Chains A and B, each alone.
Chain A
Amino acid sequence: GNSVTQMEGPVTLSEEAFLTINCTYTATGYPSLFWYVQYPGEGLQLLLKATKADDKGSNKGFEATYRKETTSFHLEKGSVQVSDSAVYFCALSEGMGGGTSYGKLTFGQGTILTVHP
Chain B
Amino acid sequence: KAGVTQTPRYLIKTRGQQVTLSCSPISGHRSVSWYQQTPGQGLQFLFEYFSETQRNKGNFPGRFSGRQFSNSRSEMNVSTLELGDSALYLCASSLGQGAVTEAFFGQGTRLTVV
- Measured CA separation A49–B102 after assembly (Å): 8
Is A94 an interface residue, CB under 8 A from the partner? Answer: yes
Is B63 an interface residue, CB under 8 A from the partner? Answer: no
Interface of B toward A, CB cutoff 8 Å: 4, 6, 31-33, 35, 42-43, 45, 48-50, 55-56, 58, 90, 92, 94, 96, 98-108
- Which A residues from 58 to 94 make CB contacts under 8 A with B? 89, 93-94
- For B48, list chain A residues within 8 Å (CB): 102-104
Is A32 an interface residue, CB under 8 A from the partner? Answer: yes
Interface of A toward B, CB cutoff 8 Å: 31-32, 34, 36, 42-46, 49, 51, 89, 93-110
B100→A32 contact, CB < 8 A: yes
- For B43, list chain A residues within 8 Å (CB): 89, 105, 107, 110
- For B105, list chain A residues within 8 Å (CB): 36, 43-46
How distant is A38 from chain B, measured CB to nearest CB, in Å? 9
Most A C-beta atoms less than 10 A away, residue of B43, B100, B106: B100
Known contacts A46-B103, A46-B104, A95-B99; is A103 also within 8 Å of B90 by CB? no
- Measured CA separation A5–B98 after assembly (Å): 24
Known contacts A32-B99, A93-B101; is A103 also within 8 Å of B56 by CB? yes
- The residue of chain B having its C-beta at the shortest distance from the C-beta of A30 within the complex is B99
- The residue of chain B having its C-beta at the shortest distance from the C-beta of A95 within the complex is B99
- The residue of chain A having its C-beta at the shortest distance from the C-beta of B96 within the complex is A103
- Measured CA separation A107–B43 after assembly (Å): 6
- Measured CA separation A36–B65 after assembly (Å): 26
